[in-house]
Amino acid sequence: MMRRFRSWLTRLARAEEGVSAVEFALIAPLMILFYFGLAELSQGYMAQRRVNHAAAAIADLVAQQQAVNNQDMQDVFLVGGLTMAPFPTDTLKLRISSVVADSKGVTKVAWSDGSHIAARTKDEVVKVPAGLVSAGASVIMAEVEYDYQSTTRQVMPALTKLKHTYYLAPRLSQTVTRK
């Protein structure tokens, strides 16, 4: 009996038939999780890039004008939403502000419009990066916020708030006026 048991243990130790199946069973769940994690990470990165592009696009559209009106702003916000495709835009917030620096270099809002977010108030003091706007000049400030929700909700279960602010100097005039 003992001899038979030892013989069985020896054969078991030398057997290699099921090693691959066992290795696969141990590694497969990790590989699947890794695959979905990378897919989700790339989707989140793509959403952040879309937010950046939306901010640049809406700032550029306004900076190319000498003056904008209500219809212009509706069109600008429409373009901002289209830039986010294929992501849903129900949580997209867009805001455009014209920021002017006074003689002391204090930057204040001249006008502002928002889509799904409150516009900034006139003469509200805002911080812009140092050296971006000189005294008496203006800059268009585009702010985009997006609440990104993971498609799998297993890898990134929480809501991720993506934000980007883009600054662009007016191209055709010293300031862009609001009609």
Taking residues 151-177, report their average pLDDT.
Answer: 86
Does residue 18 contact residue 133 with C-beta atoms inside 8 Å? Answer: no
What per-residue confidence (pLDDT) applies to 111? 98
What 8-state DSSP symbol labels residue 125?
B
Does residue 2 belong to any structural domain of this protein? no
Residues 140 and 172: their CA atoms lie apart, in Å, by 13
What per-residue confidence (pLDDT) applies to 158? 72
Using CB atoms within 10 Å of the CB of residue 36, give its burial: 0 to 12 exposed, 13 to 18 middle, 19+ buried.
middle
Does residue 111 belong to any structural domain of this protein? yes
> How many structural domains is the chain composed of?
1
What per-residue confidence (pLDDT) applies to 91? 95
Does residue 7 belong to any structural domain of this protein? no
Does residue 162 contact residue 176 with C-beta atoms inside 8 Å? Answer: no
Band (pLDDT 50/70/90 cuts) for residue 156 is low
Does residue 1 belong to any structural domain of this protein? no
Residues spanned by the domain of 171: 13-178
Does residue 8 belong to any structural domain of this protein? no
What per-residue confidence (pLDDT) applies to 168? 97
Q: What is the mean pLDDT of the chain?
A: 91
Q: What is the pTM of this model?
A: 0.84
Q: Which residues, in sequence order, are bridge partners of residue 67? A: 177
The 10s digit of each residue's pLDDT in 21-76 is 788 889 999 999 888 888 888 998 999 999 999 999 999 999 999 999 999 999 99
